[in-house]
Amino acid sequence: MLVTDLLGWVLDGRQDKGVHQILLAAHTIYYAIHALPTICYILYADQLLYQNPERLKRWAVPLIILAGLLALASLASPITGWFFHVDAQNVYTRGTWFIGYAVVQLLLLGASLIPLIGAAKKSTARTYWTLVFFPVIAFAGGLLQSLFYGLVLIWPVTTVFLVAAALNIQKNQIGIDHLTGISNRLLFDEMLNHHLHLQQGFGCILMDLDGFKQINDTLGHDAGDQALQEMARILRRVAGPKDIVARYGGDEFVILMHEASEYHLQDLVSRIELEVAMSNQSSKRPYLLSVSMGYAIFDSSLFSDDKNFMAGLDGAMYEQKRSKLGNRK
């Protein structure tokens, strides 16, 4: 897109030999592939948020048909002048169907917001809002470029944004546990250190799935993976919008609560226990979920650093686990 766009503007009106053919080719390619970045974005956003091949197929078929029709009309434009015209002086002008073409492109950008509707909880806030801003920026640039002839805006601006967005999403994905879709130990440690640096009142819950080894040994690793994924879904449902939900390692999970009090901490622990119980009642899976927890509000007079804090939570968690085992006897 950038190369053909640049050629169109640099060579416009030039009388050099072969320029006419280069301009025709550049503008034809430009119009033929103009919709592809947006189409790729729609498929990428849908896959990133839902990871559902069936949803992807429902998007792909109409989008491929639309791209094919636009490409065919673009290939015919050097003769018909539908989308553009290059005169004998090698001056480019918009074609008779240009406004319709521009409207289709803007509607396509509008459609790129559809996968994002109701999907805020399917990814982290950073990824979600990065995906939201792509069509907004591209729409604004495309609208201005359509209204003001000679303004080169949409693809340079979009390219800069896409590079920034790719780096932003990549950074976010580094901190994601790919089995459960929640944060991983790397991101949790980073956020814990951030909270410690701010010295604000925050709480943390460290938890471990009871009997996870037995699930793996008797029912197989697929069942074990499903147990981890279900626990992650429960924690995402009960956690606050600013809380960090992470897989701490193996069958251990952690919630880092933003500016928590003792009341909010105890309330979240109770809601986790309730959600686990409700999940066990409603599910037909061949195992029951159970979780042991250690939790506390960070107090610098009690905990010297992050390692000391997590060690305290770990000790409380395993004390609860030992208590459960003792009660079973």
pLDDT at 163: 79
Distance CA 168, CA 241 (A): 20
How much is the pLDDT for 152? 63
265 is a domain residue: yes
Query: Residue 291's closest CA among 314, 275, 278, 273?
Result: 273
**Quick one: 30 and 144 in the same domain?**
yes
Helix (H, G, I), strand (E, B) or coil at 78: helix
Do residues 152 and 63 both lie within one domain? Answer: yes
Q: Do 164 and 199 share a domain, yes or no?
A: no
113 and 162: one domain?
yes
| Total structural domains within the chain | 2
> Do residue 169 and residue 225 come from a single domain?
no
In the numeric block, the tokens 């006897």 are attached to 329
My answer on whether 142 and 12 are in the same domain is: yes
| The pLDDT value given to residue 329 | 43
Residue 51 shares a structural domain with residue 200: no
Which of residues 153, 174, 195 is at a domain's end? 174
292, with CB counted inside 10 A (0-12, 13-18, 19+), is buried
Is the same domain home to 58 and 95? yes
Under 8 Å between Cβ of 100 and 73: no
Of 290, 252, 246, nearest to 272 by C-alpha is: 290
pTM over 0.95: no
CA end-to-end span of the chain:
70
CA angle 72, 134, 115 (to 5 degrees): 80
pLDDT score, position 327: 59
| Residue 180 covered by a domain | no
> Which residues touch 250 (CB under 8 Å, ≥6 apart)?
212
Domain that holds residue 193: 185-328
pLDDT tens for the chain, 329 residues: list them: 889 988 998 999 999 999 999 999 999 999 999 999 889 889 988 888 887 888 888 899 999 999 999 999 999 999 999 999 999 999 999 999 999 998 898 898 888 888 888 887 666 676 777 788 877 777 777 677 767 766 666 777 777 777 777 777 776 677 889 899 899 998 899 889 888 887 667 999 999 999 999 999 999 999 999 999 999 999 999 998 889 999 999 999 999 998 788 999 999 999 999 999 999 998 888 999 999 999 999 988 888 888 999 999 999 999 999 988 765 54
Q: How open is the CA angle 79-86-26, to the nearest 5 degrees?
A: 85
Kindly state whether residues 195 and 170 are assigned to the same domain: no
Is 179 domain-assigned? Answer: no
For residue 207, is it within any domain? Answer: yes
- The CATH code of the domain that includes 221 is 3.30.70.270
- Measure Cα distances from 310 to 120, 263, 314 in Å: 30, 20, 6
- DSSP 8-state class, residue 298: -
Q: Are residues 42 and 144 in the same domain?
A: yes
**Is residue 162 a part of any domain in this protein?**
yes
* Residue after which a domain boundary falls, among 128, 147, 174: 174
Statement to judge: residues 102 and 219 lie in one domain: no
